[in-house]
Amino acid sequence: MTIEKAFFSGVRIDKVDLEQTLDHCDRFIRTRVPHQIVVVNVAKLVKAKTDKFLRRIINEADLVGADGVPLVWLSRLLKDPIPGRVNGTDLMEKLVQRAAQKGYSIYFLGARLDVVRKVVEVYRAKYPTLKVAGYRDGYFRPQEEARVADEIRASGADILFLAFGSPKKEKFVRRWVYRMNVPLIHGVGGSFDVVAGVTKRAPVWMQSAGLEWFYRFLQEPERMWKRYLFTNAEFFLVVVAELFRRALPFQKA
């Protein structure tokens, strides 16, 4: 099945919304062949401009969603619209619900051990029919990666949720995707912390207004101010550069 694509500053984003993404996930699982999903937000788009390997991983992924309202707005501004947002946490929640309904098994990898245990506990309570293939924390040495990949493969999981930061999670999957042999791999970043109650997610109105980053800043201003200052400034430059490039004659979107 062909998925229509858009490119912003050389970074691919597929023209899919959340429900379409879920349908593609069902298809991926049925194939029994490993698939990597990536969701791109403003920070990852900016990072991929200078990290060529990350950009390559994104552009070669099996599905790339727009994890951020500003990217949806940008696509409309550039007249190359993406139908909707594919938020990583929302996608994880929907996939857990669908897994419980369809009998898919899930492996949870990442975060602290107490956090990932809490995530499994929360989901087992919420979805009693959910099959948990396994779980473990994300604190292991680089030389242990192969053993972790083998453990995941042996679990027979249909879905792997990987709670690492970017670009660590994308690069981990790239190294071990075929050894793990999981039909659907979704990097969920800090979503385990949200489910476990370690951090709070922004209210819905802030999500819709593209202000989740500001809510995160309010929770940890001393740690986050520099990241968001530079990331948002670089994103503004990306927008200006894209508008200028596409305004030039003989340029394709």
* Closest residue by Cα to residue 41 from 195, 192, 177, 210: 210
pTM for this one? 0.89
Residues 141-200 have pLDDT tens digits of 999 999 999 999 999 999 999 999 999 999 999 999 999 999 999 999 999 999 999 988
82 and 75 Cβ atoms separated by less than 8 Å: yes
Give per-residue pLDDT as tens, 66-113.
998 889 998 998 889 999 999 999 999 999 999 999 999 999 999 999
Domain annotation for the chain: domains and CATH numbers: 5-204 (3.40.50)
Q: Are 70 and 210 in contact (CB under 8 A)?
A: yes
Cα 22 from Cα 126, distance rounded (Å): 20
